[in-house]
Amino acid sequence: MTSRIENVLQVAFSILTLCTALNFAQAQEHPNVIVIITDDQGYGDLGITGNPHVQTPVIDQFATESVRFNNFYVSPVCAPTRSSLMTGRYSLRTGVRDTYNGGAIMASNEVTIAEMLKKGGYTTGVFGKWHLGDNYPSRPSDQGFDESLIHLSGGMGQVGDITTYFKGDTSYFDPVLWHNNQQEAYQGYCSDIFADGAIQFIEQNKDAPFFCYLSFNAPHTPLQVPDEYYQKYKDIDPTSGFEGDNRPFPEMSEKDKEDARKVYAMVSNIDDNLGKLFKKLEDLNIADNTLIIFMTDNGPQQRRYVAGMRGRKGNVYQGGVRVPFYVKYPKAFAQNKDIETLSAHIDVLPTLADVCKVDLPINRQLDGKSLLPLIHGKTVDWANRSLFFYWTRRYPELYYNMALQKDGYKLVGKTNYNAALEDFELFNLKTDPYEQNNLVLEDKAKATALKTELDGLYNELITSENLINQPRIVVGSKAENPIFLNRNDAGGERGIWNQEEIYGTWKVRIEEGHYNIRMKFIKPVKAGGRLYLEANTLVKQQTNSQDNVDVLELKNVYLPNMDCDLLTHYAIDGKHIMPFWVEFKRIN
């Protein structure tokens, strides 16, 4: 009897050992993935890139242990960068064309890194800034993330982030955030909260492959930081320490200098948080089998050191689009290597598919390439590779803040749609990395070739299906009820922000049902006006008898199935006041 029991136990132990070995083998084949991206941290906001003031010992050390892509590019602003990062495609293909004005909603038919890795057996989480859609079907949970802890819209304290906007100068502290699509109150500073959430996610999923997207909203404005970090920088002069440096340096006002102090303090806080995260990986004994990417989303918003490059956030010059990009994977990659090959945000998804041995998304144009051959030192013929950049509000404006970079040259358009070739700028980045010498008159053949390619790519991208048929927010879905429509996603007039009298609409798909509809206004409204809801041919209106209130409601409104541009406003004294947000709650 004892012998039989021993045999059973031995078999069980063998099975357990085999399962453990298989799990280990799977983990080795599918490394954990952490993508870290910061917001408006420029190329020059690190010690390792030559800044004598900012203290980033953790990131600097990380960079020295990584593969460093020194010719890496993103879009000039945040939502386009994030859509390209997530999909491996130019942002216009995904429907993302702006940071607000209704243009920061990514089409739900896009396949994200999270969806791709989840299909390959990964558990996925996002912590921080999403900025690719605040409503179903474009939220992180709709795009492949098992866990999400985010703020809304483009930034905390902005009008689209309805739970932090009214906190004003304290919006980064003790915020109400969205955890798995539900509002939750948190204590502390936002960067600490997001990093702690990521660390907890890693602890909970350490035994199987995971993808953690840690997307700090700092050092984006508003420039709020714990005082202990500000004290480290309050007395520095950000323009000092560059004696003998012949690279161009932007002229900084006193406000620019104070902004730089706050930015550097915010970056130091991020650095400390990354120190905690990296230590946790070591403590869990998973550091060697974890691939980590560190990058930023565009150039600096304010004037400060940017390693001599021209331009900043929002600009297609180098200072707006060239960023640090470091990749560390101790188990498989060299730990101190420089790569100068032209690379970009669109390359991240195909690279992760290659490293993690998962299938690429199908039935779509991928613009990126896997960087894995470069990392392993293989010869790659990328001589014909080009990168397209643009940035204007709402939609691309032909030849205005638009560029094409290829084979060491860059053609920049800061001109009119019908401009002559001589109105463009041509730079040889190999000999003129700071874009100071316009060669367009000296090398018209090169300029013409680049302009021809730019024209072709521009015409292709602006006819993208997801751009022509802009993504719609679904109202009345069981996946999100109630639903809040915020100003970040409202189109209509350009630059909808916190104005009272402005025309704005939301592109929505309404599911048939009866709704209670609440409208929140920035300031209390007077009695005697009329509240309007317009959806295609349907107009619902009622007189308001309440005085000095900031929330008005239409109850039990029937709406049929429809696609429409939804318009709401309060009409009084000849004014048409747009709500700050609109809540739809389907009641049957």
* Percentage of the residues of the chain whose pLDDT score is greater than 70: 95
Distance of CA 331 to the CA centre of its chain: 28
Residue 580: CB atoms within 10 Å: 20
Please tell me the predicted confidence (pLDDT) of residue 75: 98
Query: Does the structure show a pLDDT above 60 at 175?
Result: yes
DSSP class of residue 384? T
pLDDT, one tens digit per residue, over 197-206 is 999 999 999 9
> Can you list the domains of the chain with their CATH numbers?
31-375 (3.40.720.10), 386-467 (3.30.1120.10), 473-586 (2.60.120.260)
Confidence of residue 6 (pLDDT cuts 50, 70, 90): low
Higher pLDDT, 466 or 14: 466
Please tell me the predicted confidence (pLDDT) of residue 383: 76
Spell out a b/e string for 60-86, using b for 16 or more CB atoms within 10 Å of the CB, else e.
Answer: eebbeebbbbebbbbbbbbbbbbbbbb
Q: How far apart are CA 38 and CA 261, in angstroms?
A: 17
Please tell me the predicted confidence (pLDDT) of residue 15: 44
Closest listed residue to residue 82, CA positions, set 334, 244, 294, 298: 298
Confidence of residue 381 (pLDDT cuts 50, 70, 90): confident
Please tell me the predicted confidence (pLDDT) of residue 25: 42
- Angle of helix 190-204 versus helix 254-283 axis, rounded to 10: 20
* The Cα angle at residue 36 between residues 32 and 38, in degrees rounded to 5: 175
Please tell me the predicted confidence (pLDDT) of residue 142: 98
The arithmetic mean of pLDDT across residues 82-111, rounded, is: 97
Query: Does the structure show a pLDDT above 60 at 512?
Result: yes
Q: Could you tell me whether strands 32-38 and 290-296 are parallel, antiparallel, or unpaired per DSSP bridges? A: parallel
Q: How far apart are CA 273 and CA 57, in angstroms?
A: 12
pLDDT, one tens digit per residue, over 484-510 is 999 999 999 999 999 999 999 999 999
pLDDT, one tens digit per residue, over 456-474 is 999 999 999 999 999 999 9
Q: Are 25 and 209 in contact (CB under 8 A)?
A: no
pLDDT, one tens digit per residue, over 298-351 is 999 999 999 999 999 999 999 999 999 999 999 999 999 999 999 999 999 999
Query: Does the structure show a pLDDT above 70 at 275?
Result: yes
Query: Does the structure show a pLDDT above 90 at 292?
Result: yes
Confidence of residue 17 (pLDDT cuts 50, 70, 90): very low
Higher pLDDT, 244 or 429: 429
**pTM score of the predicted model:** 0.94
Q: Rounded mean pLDDT of the chain?
A: 94
pLDDT, one tens digit per residue, over 551-586 is 999 999 999 999 999 999 999 999 999 999 999 999
Query: Does the structure show a pLDDT above 80 at 1?
Result: no
Confidence of residue 16 (pLDDT cuts 50, 70, 90): very low
Q: How far apart are CA 470 and CA 102, in angstroms?
A: 9
Q: Are 180 and 162 in contact (CB under 8 A)?
A: no
| Residue length of the chain | 588
pLDDT, one tens digit per residue, over 23-45 is 444 445 799 999 999 999 999 99
Q: 């907890």: which residue's tokens?
A: 200
